[in-house]
């Protein structure tokens, strides 16, 4: 069973040559202003909006993630289209991207199904929060294999257990997908998003629940819980809003990328 593309041509370009131009542009702009941090991360938080809005933020995280040398990743994102209880895991053989397919990590898949309870809801995997990560993965993380998890109504502690398990495996990492606040004016969005950023930086779940708005908040909380337990250090890589691209400050969406490394 192949995980086909569903938002190519909308959330991201459908042609490999166009995607490459995007990634090269994002990297060029970053390098003209910053020096890429030398971090060895096995886990990241990344956004999932259309590339014209959040691609720069995500691109920074994937460039940093190249240093990890990890060969198997679990991509975890919230369901936006289908409501269900729990976490969905399907037995895909591969994941399509405009750059070609990404192979499924069969060994990691088997370990996950043998240690945790999942549902297998194929329609939940017609999901942009995870899919927009795949072109980045194929372009930046050569020969990587992946497993896609999509959650709806579930407990952050349960996802944290999965994260703990994955990070304990040799050569395995985690990609957590979320956007931040939606459709506030820029000033209010910055205030709300700064709560999220501070919670991620300080690994503070209580702070996360004091005003952070994020569609993938469950996944973010799970990552914070795991980072505290595993003694990981959190670094914010980039934050911006859709206003940086659209110049519309009346209804913006916030985006963050962060990485987690051993102290």
Burial class (CB in 10 A: 0-12, 13-18, 19+), 170: exposed
Separation in Å, CA 114 to CA 52, 94, 110, 117: 39, 20, 6, 8
Q: Record the tokens describing residue 74, joined without a space.
A: 């679990």
Strand-pair category, 94-95 with 102-103: antiparallel
What pLDDT was estimated at residue 132? 98
Phi, psi (degrees; rounded to nearest 5) at 189: -60, -45
CA atoms within 13 A of residue 55's CA, in its CB half-sphere: 23
Q: Which two tokens stand for residue 219?
A: 């996944």
Report the C-alpha dihedral over residues 138, 257, 11, 149, rounded to 10 degrees: 70
User: Are 220 and 202 in contact, with CB atoms under 8 Å apart?
Assistant: no
CA 187 to chain centre: 25
How many whole angstroms separate alpha carbon 13 and alpha carbon 137? Answer: 15
Q: Residue 2 is encoded by which pair of tokens?
A: 């192949």
Query: CB neighbours of 197 closer than 8 A, spacing ≥ 6?
Result: 236, 239, 256
Nearest to 6 by CA among 175, 149, 166, 122: 122
**Domains of the chain listed by start with CATH number:** 2-262 (3.40.830.10)
In order along its 263 residues, the chain shows pLDDT tens digits of 999 999 999 999 999 999 999 999 999 999 999 999 999 999 999 999 999 999 999 999 999 999 998 999 999 999 999 999 999 999 999 999 999 999 999 999 999 999 999 999 999 999 999 999 999 999 999 899 999 999 999 999 999 999 999 999 989 999 999 999 999 999 999 999 999 999 999 999 999 999 999 999 999 999 999 999 999 999 999 999 999 999 999 999 999 999 999 87
- The candidate with the shortest Cα–Cα distance to 147, out of 76, 86, 98, 47, is 76
């Amino acid at each position: 069973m192949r995980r086909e593309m569903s938002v190519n041509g909308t959330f991201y370009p459908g042609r490999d040559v166009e995607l490459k131009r995007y990634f090269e542009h994002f990297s060029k702009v970053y390098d003209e202003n910053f020096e890429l941090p030398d971090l060895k991360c096995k886990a990241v938080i990344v956004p999932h909006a259309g590339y014209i809005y959040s691609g720069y933020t995500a691109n920074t995280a994937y460039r940093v993630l190249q240093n990890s040398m990890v060969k198997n990743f679990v991509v975890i994102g919230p369901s936006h289209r289908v409501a269900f209880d729990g976490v969905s895991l399907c037995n895909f053989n591969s994941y399509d991207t405009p750059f070609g397919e990404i192979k499924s990590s069969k060994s990691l898949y088997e370990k996950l199904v043998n240690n945790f309870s999942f549902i297998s809801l194929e329609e939940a995997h017609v999901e942009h929060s995870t899919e927009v990560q795949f072109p980045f993965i194929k372009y930046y993380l050569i020969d990587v294999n992946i497993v896609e998890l999509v959650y709806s109504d579930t407990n952050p502690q349960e996802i944290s257990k999965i994260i703990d398990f994955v990070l304990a495996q040799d050569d395995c990492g985690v990609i957590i997908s979320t956007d931040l606040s939606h459709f506030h004016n820029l000033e209010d969005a910055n205030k709300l998003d700064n709560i999220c950023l501070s919670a991620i930086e300080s690994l503070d779940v209580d702070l996360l629940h004091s005003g952070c708005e994020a569609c993938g908040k469950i996944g973010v909380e799970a990552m914070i819980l795991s980072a505290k337990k595993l003694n990981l250090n959190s670094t914010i890589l980039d934050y911006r809003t859709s206003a940086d691209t659209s110049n519309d400050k009346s209804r913006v969406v916030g985006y963050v990328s962060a990485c987690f490394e051993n102290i």
